[in-house]
Amino acid sequence: MERSISKSLFFLQRLEPKISVMDRYIITELIGPFLFGVGLFSSIGVTVGAMFELVRKVTESGLPISIALQVFLLKMPEFIGLAFPMAMVLSTLMVYSQMSSNSEIVALRSCGISVYRMVVPVVIVSLTVTGLTFALNEVIVPNANYQASLTLERTLDREDPPFREEHIFYPEFGKVERPDGSKKDTLTRLFYAEKFDGKYMRGVTIVDRSQYGVDQIVSSESATWNPAENIWD
């Protein structure tokens, strides 16, 4: 029984993946530059690809800042996934450049370790990052982008129209003919409405000065836009 257990432990130890001190050292050195690269490239990507558009919607369409921040965070996974490969290249170049400047590569070569063996840790980390990128792009990114688009669409559809709703003044300018036959650009009509809901005006007052020397004041409880004749009824 004890002999059987010893043989089993022996085979388990043989099956265990062996990570050398060099592998752990290189992998540890890769983590810092890799995270720095992810933060750098994802920040640049999300700034160019999403932030400018969100700022435009905030200023032009009245998108609330809280919704813009929510959409910004939902867009982040897409650009993080794009940053993973570039961050991996950056971290690899930084680590091996530092090892070369510190003569660590020469020391490893003098110990009989080949260049191919030195890149094994990078291959392992690259395969791990590839798997993370695939999972991110297949599972998280589509859902996040869908939620961002849905949130943006619903918010903009619910936003108030870009017109004033109370105490509306609208001047209309045109040419008024004088008794001597000359025409002069002047204020011809002045519209005022107490309330406007996008279709109906309430408490309408119109000052008509389209005829020289005659000022008319027209008041109405409501007015409705007639798109067929392009006038207010």
Write out pLDDT tens, residues 76-110. 999 999 999 999 999 999 999 998 888 888 888 88
Q: What domain range includes position 58?
A: 17-158
Cα dihedral 121, 125, 126, 129, rounded to 10, equals 180
Same domain membership, residue 118 and residue 30: yes
Where a domain ends, among 108, 128, 158?
Answer: 158
Same domain membership, residue 213 and residue 131: no
- Pairwise CA distance, residues 102 & 24, whole Å: 18
Which residues share a beta bridge with 195?
Answer: 166, 202
Give the pLDDT score at 118: 87
Give the pLDDT score at 92: 93
Same domain membership, residue 216 and residue 139: no
Where a domain ends, among 158, 178, 201?
Answer: 158
Q: Rounded to two decimals, what is the model's pTM?
A: 0.57
* Lowest mean pLDDT, pick from 113-122, 124-133, 189-198: 189-198
Q: How far is CA 74 from the centre of its chain?
A: 8
Residue 67, CA atoms < 13 Å, CB-side half-sphere: 19
The secondary structure of 50-61 as a DSSP string is: IIHHHHHHHHHS
Give the pLDDT score at 91: 93
Tens of pLDDT along 56-72? 888 877 788 888 888 88
Same domain membership, residue 227 and residue 205: yes
Per-residue pLDDT band at 178 (split at 50, 70, 90):
confident
Where a domain ends, among 107, 129, 158?
Answer: 158
Q: Is the per-residue pLDDT at 4 higher than 50?
A: no
Residue with tokens 């809280």: 66
Tens of pLDDT along 32-65? 999 999 999 999 988 888 888 888 888 877 788 8
Same domain membership, residue 198 and residue 133: no
Give the pLDDT score at 1: 45
Rounded to the nearest integer, the mean pLDDT of the chain is: 80
Q: Is the per-residue pLDDT at 196 higher than 80?
A: no
